[in-house]
Chains A and B, each alone.
Chain A
Amino acid sequence: MKIIQRLSEMKVGQIATIQAFHVDTGFKYRLNGLGLRVGKKIEVVRHAPFTGPFQLRIGSTELMLRKQDADMIEVLM
């Protein structure tokens, strides 16, 4: 069964499809530029220690994102 959840709730190694962004326009531009777009598959590679950022992989790009920002992205598992 497919469920919609937050990107921040994904576990290491899981892959999901981006569903929606609940961020301001400026940050959406930045995320788009980094390859995060609705419909793209995204993987959680690892978490940084001490509740630090998430390491994510999308296509051929790897990036980091903080938990509070990953909270604002909806994904389809």
Chain B
Amino acid sequence: MKRIALIGMPNAGKSTLFNRMSGGSAKVANWPGVTVDLLSSKLLLDGGMVEIVDLPGIYDLHGFSDDEQVVRHFLANNTVDLVLIVVNASQIDRQLSLTLQLKSLNMPAVILLNMADEAKKLGISIDTKKLSTELGYSTLLLSAKYGQGYAESYQAIETTLRTSAARPARAIEEDFAVDKAMETELDNLVKHSVDFPAQIGNTITEKIDSMALHPVFGLPLFFGFMFMIFQAVYTIGGPLQEAMAWIFETFRDIALVPLLSGLPPLLNGFLIGGVFDGLATVASFVPIVIVFFLFMAFVEDSGYLSRAAFLMDALMSRMGLDGRSFVMLLMGFGCNVPALMGTRTMRSRGLRLLTMLVIPFSLCSARLQVFVFMTTALFAPQHAPIVLFSLYIMTFVVVILTALLFKGHFNSQEPFALELPPYRLPTYRQMLLRGWHEVGVFVKRATKFITIGVVMVWVLTNMPYGVEPASAASWSGIIGEFMSPVLSPAGINPELTIALIFGFVAKEIVIGALAVIYGLEGSALMAGIADQIDWVQAYSFMLFTLIYTPCLSTIATLRTEAKSGWFTTVSLVWPLTLAWVVSAGFYQAARFLGY
């Protein structure tokens, strides 16, 4: 099968193009010579199946970052029939440098000048015919986002695939003489075939930036904006969650219970009180997660994240981190795993490790479910969003504390250069795809750990046979009692302890586990928990959940990315210790003050 590799600089819109081409059917896979997973997909071109691989965005084929090494290793170990070079048309004056580097390797290629719509708006006109002749590569204008120019692009890809010879796997040598000549070639190419207006200015972006990056209002605006997003997620997602819970409850009462009534009590209890209640409770939070990711997709695609990096870099540099670390923390609000992978653009190991040490404190969407559940159960509706926001603030408090404590061990002199792309509005399509993707992620997690987790919790709370569920005599009761000297100073009771133990695997299991332990579901579960613990205990439990060891996937990613057993151990032990100190400290202080 022929193989196409997608190469481009960061912010060239490569992912958007890849998503369009693959139709969302991409798979992660291992590649010879490359230690990280790359996305790839198969598509029908010219009557045959062609494999297309999405390589990480890079600035320079010879660069020193992990991403740049991945691309080099990939080309050194894999035959490529065609590279699709994605260039941001409005930045063609600099992004063509990567094209020239690939050309010097005699790479069979097609050049896609992406974001043609944006370039046109800026008054940039590109003579693609001239460019094609001078470069010797088919060069086409495209708008990956709005879907223009695909037919012509596919045609050019098919023709080139048919007529060019593949580049066999071969290492990439450095050649400084070529680099120097390339600068002149780049300037000439741009001079001959691109017409830039005398004054390039994105007036809308400039206007927004004069507010968003304002020396005084910039930061307050940022935090106000984030608060509004969390408020909106809660306001929109809350009722959706209740509706979902109601649907599951109704289904259970009118269909499931009568249907399974003939089964022996133990099996019946296992299926309804274990598997169904556990999974349904977790599933009812999926709408909140989707709403959350829709907002995240909007923020990510808008270009605002790099503004956040600009505003926060001064503070981050004092903690031994940089603006990118802050962006990764924000990405971690969605899921810690991709945020950890995002640190690959950092060259300094110290900076990268310190960033990876703090990312797991980011209040991810799985933890958000636990907190929405707990705050709804134990706080008045008008207080709940504030309680939730205080936990986001806690993320930063813990990050600052950890970074200050550890920055001496993870030294970094890494220079910091980051692009500020123009503001862009994401399309509905992009946002819907993102939401749909999250449903897929949930289904995958549900079929893996969440089901196993709730089943195990059911076994622990209902065994040995004949015992009162979740009582002191059950296995879970015994474990809870055993752990109680450690966790009771933090106000965490034996039931919550079991939930925390399983939360180590995945935070979604925490609420599933509570449903199984209490043998209740939906609003009844919330009422049951509110009867048993007060808000001080609940907040202490939430602090512990926020800070302690992140989920199994995060630990696994930390290990593969850091490639260090020592670092993985630190990132397990430190959060656990800190979680206990913060929760116990909060609980004891609150009780001391008479709450």
Interface, chain A (partner B; CB < 8 A): 23, 25-27, 29-35, 37, 46-53, 55, 58-66, 68-69, 72
Contacts and interface: CB of A to CB of B under 8 A. Distances in A.
Given A33-B94, A35-B94, A49-B218, A63 B63 contact: no
B310 A65 contact: no
Nearest to A29: B60
B94 A34 contact: yes
Q: Which 9 A-B pairs have the closest CB atoms?
A: A33-B59, A52-B314, A35-B94, A26-B64, A50-B314, A29-B60, A62-B420, A69-B415, A29-B63
Contacts of B306: 64
Contact of A52 (B91, B200, B310, B419): B310
Interface string B416-429: 11111110000000
Contacts of A64: 306, 309-310, 313, 323, 416-418, 420
B420 A63 contact: yes
Contacts of B64: 25-26, 29
8 contacts: A30-B65, A34-B59, A48-B310, A53-B310, A58-B94, A59-B91, A59-B200, A61-B419
Nearest to A72: B415
A30 B59 contact: yes
B183 interface: yes
B50 interface: no
Contacts of A55: 209, 213, 310, 420
B419 A69 contact: no
Interface in B314-335: 314-315, 317, 322-323
Contacts of A66: 313, 317, 322, 415-416
B97 A32 contact: yes
Nearest to A37: B183
Nearest to B421: A62
Nearest to B322: A66
Contacts of A34: 59, 94, 417, 419
Contacts of B60: 29-30, 32-33
A65 B90 contact: no
Among B219, B306, B347, B417, the one with the most A-chain Cβ atoms within 10 Å of its Cβ is B417
B417 A69 contact: yes
Given A31-B417, A33-B94, A35-B91, 18 more contacts: A25-B64, A29-B63, A30-B63, A30-B417, A33-B60, A33-B98, A34-B59, A46-B213, A49-B314, A52-B311, A52-B313, A52-B317, A53-B314, A59-B200, A61-B419, A63-B417, A64-B309, A64-B310
B132 to A, nearest CB: 22
Contacts of A52: 310-311, 313-314, 317
A29 B59 contact: yes
Interface in B370-428: 415-422
A23 B415 contact: yes
